[in-house]
Amino acid sequence: MIEARRISGALGAELRGVDLSRPLAKTAFDEVKRLWLEHLVIFFRNQPLNEKQYMAFAEQFGEPVEYPLVKGLEGFPKIIEVKKLEHERVAFGGIWHTDTAYLQRPPMASMLLAREVPPYGGDTLFANMYLAYESLSEGLKKLLLTLKAVNSSTKADASKTREDVVKSSGKEAKDYLAEHPVVRTHPETGRKALYVNSGHTVRFAGWTEEESASLLKFLFEIQTRPEFTCRFAWQPGSIALWDNRCAQHNPVNDYHGHRRMMHRITLAGDVAA
């Protein structure tokens, strides 16, 4: 029996009664997938998977793909190490964002497996982009439905959070740019989500950055209202699986002097519509 315990009113559920060290039976997988679509991000505890088991679980959900800016693990190129060491002050991806929205086919989902966690802090925040869109006035919704957003891999604030990791990974740095609808319709649920993010969105297509700045700032603030978010405290062996099409995340950088190391897998998505 799979039990789902909600961790906030907006999104997020911790699933119990699931062993990910072996492939899920079809009925169990169907229930996990249903709960994921319902809650946008799901969490598992006490899953000390090796790389092969972790990859097998990811492959049940979708097609793992290589992260474009960081080299993967030896023997498992589609698993990347997300870490902050004791002497480092900047956390990888430490800003509200949707993963790799600067790609033409942004990912369907991402998952993190906690390997080492600090004695305190290092939680991750998640936010519900369905609720962000639904909270807007009908007039603003009508405007946003006509717009596309330009997303860049080199937006300054996001670039700073991964600068050291990219340099040390041995992978060639590239600039990626992609346009996506500001309002994205989820291909499986049919719900509309506000698909811009402060980590990668630089302007609206056909608008200058200066013209876009005020409206984007307003949207970014709407997206991260506390009532649209949840917070997850990691333990070794914890797994988070989130839907990049309708959720954002932000790792909290509050554990200076301690080590945090995670393994991440990204799952291929489709063209945003």
Active site amino acids: 97, 99, 249, 264
Structure tokens at 144: 């946003």
Give the angle 155-160-161 at the CA atoms, nearest 5°.
110
Sheet-wide strand order for 201-204:
177-181, 148-152, 201-204
Element (H, E) at 127: strand 124-128
CB of 126 closer than 8 Å to CB of 247: yes
- In the chain, the largest separation of any two C-alpha atoms, in whole Å, equals 53
Angstrom distance (rounded) from CA 125 to CA 252: 7
**Main-chain phi, psi angles of 140, to 5 degrees:** -70, -40
By C-alpha distance, which of 113, 129, 133, 122 is closest to 52?
Answer: 113
Angstrom distance (rounded) from CA 84 to CA 150: 29
**Main-chain phi, psi angles of 204, to 5 degrees:** -90, 145
CA dihedral 152, 156, 161, 164 (to 10 degrees): 100
The percent of the chain in helix, strand and coil, each rounded to the nearest 5, is 25, 30, 45
Angstrom distance (rounded) from CA 18 to CA 183: 34
**Coil, strand or helix at 18:** coil
Place of tokens 């950055």: 209
